[in-house]
Amino acid sequence: MKKKELDQIDKQILHLLIQDANASYVDIAKQIYVSAATVHVRVKNLRATGVIESAHTQVNLSALGYQVVAFVAIYLDRSSYYTDVLSALQQLPEITNVHSTTGSYSLFAKVVCKDHTHLHDLLHLHIQELKGVQRTESFISLNEPISRGVSLL
């Protein structure tokens, strides 16, 4: 995909949408001193060029009872298992993100669980039982002192 060059107005619009994806075009326009029509056209163009992929609602998982966030390093027996393991991980709703990585392990997953027993069961009954998974290494998050969208703008 061709890289899109952003001007200052595009960057301001993106910054405000990252802070609040529900912000109206009128509200954004007032903050950056352009018309709502300009914001509408700019957002439409940012979507068309793939800069904006989607808007998401951020859910407070703790409020829903998910008290444990962990990162799971997944070691594969062979790289030929990669696609099958990735497909199986996709089916586990506790897994929120998976990254393919360099280094000792093949995959690095972020998981959310209700408690430590839930995490234990997820690891031992689901992830470690997948054909091709040699072992896992877990890192429990104590807190998330920095959480932000793109700050590179």
User: Residue 22 maps to which CATH number?
Assistant: 1.10.10.10
Q: Where are the alpha helices (DSSP H) in 3-147?
A: 8-19, 25-32, 36-48, 82-90, 116-121
Look up the CATH number of the domain holding residue 130: 3.30.70.920
66 and 136 housed in the same domain: yes
Give a yes or no: residue 31 inside a domain: yes
CA angle 59, 14, 22 (to 5 degrees): 40
Domain tally for the chain?
2
Strand partners, 139: 71
pLDDT at 5 over 90: no
Q: What is the pTM of this model?
A: 0.79
Give a yes or no: residue 14 inside a domain: yes
CA angle 99, 103, 108 (to 5 degrees): 25
Give a yes or no: residue 133 inside a domain: yes
> What's residue 151's pLDDT?
62
> Domain span at residue 76?
61-140
Give a yes or no: residue 152 inside a domain: no
> What's residue 28's pLDDT?
96
> What's residue 1's pLDDT?
53
Give a yes or no: residue 149 inside a domain: no
Axis crossing angle, helix 25-32 with helix 36-48, rounded to the nearest 10: 110
- Provide the residue type at 87 as one letter: S
Give a yes or no: residue 124 inside a domain: yes
DSSP label at residue 127: I
